[in-house]
Every structure is written in C-alpha cells, then in structure tokens.
Structure 1
Amino acid sequence: MRVLVTGGAGFTGSHYVRGLLSGPGAGGGNGRRSGQLPQSVRVTVLDTASSAAGGERVASLMRDPACSFVQGDVRDAALLAEILPGHDQVVDFTAGTSGGRSGDPAPASVDTRLYAARTLLEAAVRARVSRFVRVSGAEVYGDTRTELWPEDGPLLPGTPHAAATAAGDLLALDCHRTHDLPVVIARGPDAYGAGQSPDAYVPRVLSHLLRGSRVPAEEVRGDPREWLHVTDLCAGVRVAADRGRVGEAYHVGGGTVLTDAQLTARLLDACGAGWDMVSHRPAARAGRRRPALDDGRLRALGHSPRVPLDEGLRATARWYADRPPWRQPARAA
C-alpha cells in the first residue's frame, strides 16, 4: 500500500504519517480496531515544509525508511503528474483544522486554497487513485446554537477560510459524482497536542504560562468549540480512509466543547497555575458556538476517542515545557 499525504509536514498531517508508519492501530486511537493498512505501507509526504516547524517534522519522519519526502506545492500540476501514479491512497491535509488560530486568511489565500484543491483532485482523477480522503474541519458549518451537528448537515461557512474549505469539500464530492473518484470526507474539530505550531491556541496559552507571564485577557474571550487530541483525530481519519463509504462525510468527533476561558482553566490546572496568571478573569457570556460533531458513522465502524482532555493537556504541557524553542513564534506553521 502506497499512501501520498499532502500537507504531511503540518501538525495534524505529520501525526497521521507517524501513525501509518507505526502500523495498524497506531496514533493513539483504538488499538487494532483503528486501521486495516498492511505492515508494508509506504508513505510519500508532499509539502512545502517552509517553516522551521515543518522542517523539523519532516526530518523526524524521514528517519523511517518507509517514508519519502517531496518538497513541493499541490498547485504544481506537473509535479503531481510525476509523483501521484502508483499511489493507492491520497490523504489531503492541506485544508487543515484550525487549532484555534486567530484571524482569517486574506482573499488571495482563499483563491490559492481553491486552486490547490482543484489541482490535486484533477491529478488524482488522472492517476486513478483507489481512494481520495479530504481532511476538512468543523468550521464549514459556521456558528450555531445547535448542540450536535449531523454528518449530512448543511454547510454554512461564516468566514472566507471556512468558505474555501467548504468549497474544496464540494469540489471533491463533485469529482466523485462526475469522475468516479472514490472520495471520502473526514471533518474534525479543533485539535491540540505535541508539536503544534505556536500560533495555535493551546501553545499560545502554554507559552505564557511556561515562561511565567500572564495570559492576555483577549486570549480567553472565545466562544465554545469542540477540542480533540490530535492522535484521536488521526485515528478517526484512518478509519474513514480505510473503511469509510465513498461519497460520504465522516465526523471525527467525541471531543469536549469548551469556551476559551474554560479551556484556559484546564491549562492553568495542567501547569499548576491559578487565575492570577490571567490578565483578566472573564465573566460568563452568551455568544456564538461552533457545533459539536455527531460522529455516529465512525462509531458504527468501531472508532471512539481515547485521550481524556485533561490527560491530553497535561501531556501537551509537558512536551512544550521540555522544548522551549517550540514556543517561539518563528516556528509557526
């Protein structure tokens, strides 16, 4: 089995590759229930790896002889035509999950993302890959007071970033209907864990706490959203990739829905700190919320998350405490 992982030098993509290289059931998911990939799996990572973090992730992955790395852009049709043939699966992490990043990309970035999705899908059609897995995110559903969002729920993106992600999902499903490309969509919530870029929410808060500075008040004003440990997210994506029904979307859910203030409280506990380490303790408020994901389809396939939130946050805090350079903004991406 040969798998091409685009965006494999990113936070979530690199965790996914490690799970593949470790054999069935790896990645902190559900033991041997999580996957059916053979031990002889070989992985090709395609990524620009333009950041310090991406370069370090690639160097770590390349220690395994079953992994090869191609530095390049998924918008490069000629490169895709060269490397895609012979791969059985494409798992596309270029859409990404937010991880609680602030801000939204510029319109030019939205155009770039759409062109990248189309170019990769067209190349996969020409290469006749056996399965194309697009990893998407809960942001495509927008903000709602709905407690649990169904897997066949409407896409209601509320930002340019989310709209570009939703459009990429629809392009993938269109390729399934029009060109018989075996597409599966896997949508996850915000992820956290070891090796995440320092511009994401959890590392941002941890960087303040671990250097003994107070967390800025603006960091604890976000609305509720679902959080899932990255190894559980990757385990769920593997189940969808291996056993999901083509043409369907699968939610990798089962996480914990928290406001930023609630998550910060858990991070304070993980670091043995109190609210005096936050510039301003926020009052409870009513606002928008990103829906939790109904993950019934994956649960029917035997998948459920295994990393409790507090356990995952403590492990993440220890990882960053041991690696001060990973708390520097220069490593972002």
Structure 2
Amino acid sequence: MHTYLITGGAGFIGANFVKYMLATHADAQLIVLDLLTYAGNVHTIESDIDGVRCHFVKGDIGDRALVESLFEKYPIDCVVNFAAESHVDRSIEDPQLFLVTNILGTQNLLNAARKAWTTGRDATGYPTWRPGVRFHQVSTDEVYGSLGPDGFFTETTPLAPHSPYSASKTSADLVAMAYHDTYRMPVSITRCSNNYGPYHFPEKLIPLIINNILEGKQLPVYGDGSNVRDWLYVEDHCKAIDAVIHRGRAGEVYNVGGHNERKNIDIVRTIIRTIRQLMTKQPAYRDALRKRIAGPDGLPTVDWIDDSLITFVTDRLGHDQRYAIDPTKISTELGWRPETDFETGIVKTVRWNLEHQDWIREVISGDYVGYYERMYAGRELKS
C-alpha cells in the first residue's frame, strides 16, 4: 500500500483529489491534513474518512511537531501539497498570512519529508533517498504574471508574480526546487490554470455567480470583465497530478491547462444561459432557487435571470489581464490531456451546485458574508 500525505485535502482541489485517488487507486492510503480555515470543509470528505484507507488530521502545515509526528506514525511515500491560502482578494487584505502559510508552511513540510526519507549519504556527500518517495508541490499559473493578447505560459516563462498570493506561491515553488537542487530531493511541481467543478468555495468566480443567481443577487464583475483566464475542470487536474507524481521526472515543472480561454464576462453570461436552460428544460431544477419571482403556476420563473443582473465593480488591485497555459510538456511526456471541454464542464458544475444546496449553505458562514460585503458592497461602477 502506498501512503500519501494530502495537505489541504478538505479544500476544493484537495478534496476532489482525495475522492479521485480513493476511487482509482485501490492500494492508496491517504493521510489528509487540513487546518479547516474558511476554504476547508471536513464535511466534503466526511464520507471518505474511514480510518483505514483515509485518515483525517486537523492541523497546520507550519506546525513542525505535528508534521514530523505524521511521518513517524505513517509510512508516507508521497506528499501532495495543496495547502495554501489561495484567494487573491484575501491576499491583498492580509498579505502576511499568505507568506506564513504558503512559504514557511511548505518549507516545514519539505524539511519533515527530508528528515523522514533520507537514508544516508552517497560518495559525493549528497543524501540518499528511500525508494519511490516524492514531494509534489501544487502551484498556479499566476506565478508567471500576466500575458498580453497572444502567447502562452510555458515552463520556461520567467516568474513575475503581481499579487501577495502569487508571490507567496512563487516563493514556495522556489523553496521546493531548492530542496531538489541542494539535497537532490525527489520534488515535482505542477502549475495549473483556473479550476472549476464540484465543491468549489463560493468566493471564486464560477460558484459565486451561480450562488448569487440562486440568491437573487447582483452578479459582480471586476472592471469591464475583459480579463481572460484558462479554465480547467478539477477532475482533469487531479488526473494530471496523478500522472506527475507517479510518472513525472523529479526536479521538473509541468504546466496543466484546460485549453478553455474565456473572458470573465463571457463566463458570467454562459452561467446565466446555462441556468436558464436547465430551469426551462428540467422543471425539477427550478426549486433550487431560494429567492425567486414566482410565475403563473407558482413555481420560479427564469425570466428575471438575464444579463441585467451583471454589475461591474471597481477592479481588483494589480489585476492580471490574461493567463493561458501551454500544456505541451505534460502531454508529450506523460500523455495527459484535458478531457472536459468548457461547455460540458460548466453544465456539470451548474448541475452539481443546484443539486448540493445543503453543502453551499453550510460553507457560506458569517465569515463569508462579511468578506462578501467588504469585497463588493458599494463598489459598483457608475455609468
């Protein structure tokens, strides 16, 4: 049995990875470590935690004693580090939290793994490593900065972060790779584009827009909505990480993109159109609207769900204009390709949100309400 330490495994991508690994790797034992901050929800993986193949530990990746105790208790072969403060807007509010968690927390994990996995020294003085171990750092395309209207990020694109969040992730990547270069530690990194799909915390664009429609709220869009992102369905991302940790080369970075570039305003309009279609063609979905205008039959009408809900708000500080990833390296070396086109993925995502309103209500806490008011209230642009 292979034992994986999955940090941040109660968050959006981490939880999807936990479910994917349990479903596809019968020999996998997972140790999930998560501090359960605003973006972590243990109920997301509650049904997966069985105390046999999947164990849960609440704690901070920066807690040295705790992390080292996990390596002593379990025969961990692989660390997959999802744990991070990850929302750009929150990093603008509190940069120090991002630096502490994302940089120092990653270094603490690396050092605990180095201590547990080192078996001795070779003739040149470099550490020797337990066979089959791997430290995998999950990163972001935001470390590359912003693109113009053309071109793509490749693994050799210079790092040029523009926000406290992306700067902290860049630093964590460099620390991870320094452990490879200095100690020859088996380290790999993936840098992904924007993920979407089930269990996405509703402060991010796609779940925010879906939830606001269901709540009868306006749909806030930064600036003029022209910022471009490449969207990757979360299950495709999980498959990419799986490929890299088992078949990718140590000391390498692999970019993971979805081939789904969209302007933010087009994403919002697509979600509006998708919800209208689902409500019209499948009446059962109409009951998912909690605040709604009733039609003649007493059921919710979709007539009010249109572009008039869109409200342009003051742009985010340092907002990167465009991200787009070239995943040629991972495709060529490992045979991975995104399987979910955006048109299919967005319908699956909207359906999931409509069918899991209990989960949505649970994660929208008082902290989220306060955050939402700080981010968007009173920021509407005047025409």
Distance (whole Å) between structure 2 residues aligned to residue 320 and residue 231 of structure 1 = 16
> Which residues of 2 match residues 1-333 of structure 1 at below 5 A?
1-24=2-25, 39-51=26-38, 54-63=41-50, 65-85=52-72, 86-95=75-84, 104-112=92-100, 113-128=102-117, 130-145=133-148, 146-218=150-222, 221=225, 223-272=227-276, 273-279=305-311, 288-300=320-332, 301-328=334-361, 329-330=364-365
Distance (whole Å) between structure 1 residues aligned to residue 215 and residue 223 of structure 2 = 16
Distance (whole Å) between structure 2 residues aligned to residue 11 and residue 254 of structure 1 = 17
Secondary structure of the residue aligned to 1:250 is strand
Distance (whole Å) between structure 2 residues aligned to residue 267 and residue 136 of structure 1 = 27
Report how many aligned residue pairs link the two structures: 314
Distance 1:96 1:21, change over 3 A: farther
Corresponding letter in the other structure for 1:306: E
Stretch of structure 1 that moved more, 120-129 or 161-170: 120-129
Distance 1:220 1:320, change over 3 A: farther
Distance 1:219 1:288, change over 3 A: closer
User: Hey, what does 2:301 align to over in structure 1?
Assistant: none
Distance 1:316 1:63, change over 3 A: farther
Alpha-carbon deviation of 1:229? 0.8
Distance (whole Å) between structure 2 residues aligned to residue 211 and residue 105 of structure 1 = 26
User: Hey, what does 1:28 align to over in structure 2?
Assistant: none
Percent of paired sites with the same residue: 29
Corresponding letter in the other structure for 2:4: V
Distance (whole Å) between structure 1 residues aligned to residue 16 and residue 85 of structure 2 = 13
Distance (whole Å) between structure 2 residues aligned to residue 126 and residue 250 of structure 1 = 26
Q: Which has the higher contact order (CA 8 A, sep 6+)?
A: 1
- Asked if 2 retains the 8 angstrom alpha-carbon contact of 1:97 and 1:188, the reply is no
Alpha-carbon deviation of 1:42? 0.6
- Asked if 2 retains the 8 angstrom alpha-carbon contact of 1:96 and 1:137, the reply is no
Distance 1:169 1:185, change over 3 A: same
Distance (whole Å) between structure 1 residues aligned to residue 329 and residue 244 of structure 2 = 9
Distance (whole Å) between structure 2 residues aligned to residue 240 and residue 65 of structure 1 = 25
Query: Structure 1 length as normaliser, TM-score?
Result: 0.87
- Asked if 2 retains the 8 angstrom alpha-carbon contact of 1:44 and 1:70, the reply is yes
Structure 2 portions without partners, runs of 5+: 118-129, 277-304, 314-318, 372-383
Distance 1:295 1:319, change over 3 A: same
Deviation digits for residues 52-89 of structure 1 (CA, Å, limit 9, x no counterpart)? 85121231321584101111111111111111241110
Structure 1 portions without partners, runs of 5+: 25-38, 282-286
Distance 1:50 1:327, change over 3 A: same
Distance (whole Å) between structure 1 residues aligned to residue 236 and residue 35 of structure 2 = 25
Secondary structure of the residue aligned to 2:55 is strand
Distance 1:265 1:156, change over 3 A: same
Distance (whole Å) between structure 2 residues aligned to residue 221 and residue 306 of structure 1 = 27
Distance 1:242 1:97, change over 3 A: farther
Alpha-carbon deviation of 1:105? 5.0
Deviation digits for residues 168-217 of structure 1 (CA, Å, limit 9, x no counterpart)? 00000000011121000011011111111111111110012223333235
Alpha-carbon deviation of 1:222? 5.4
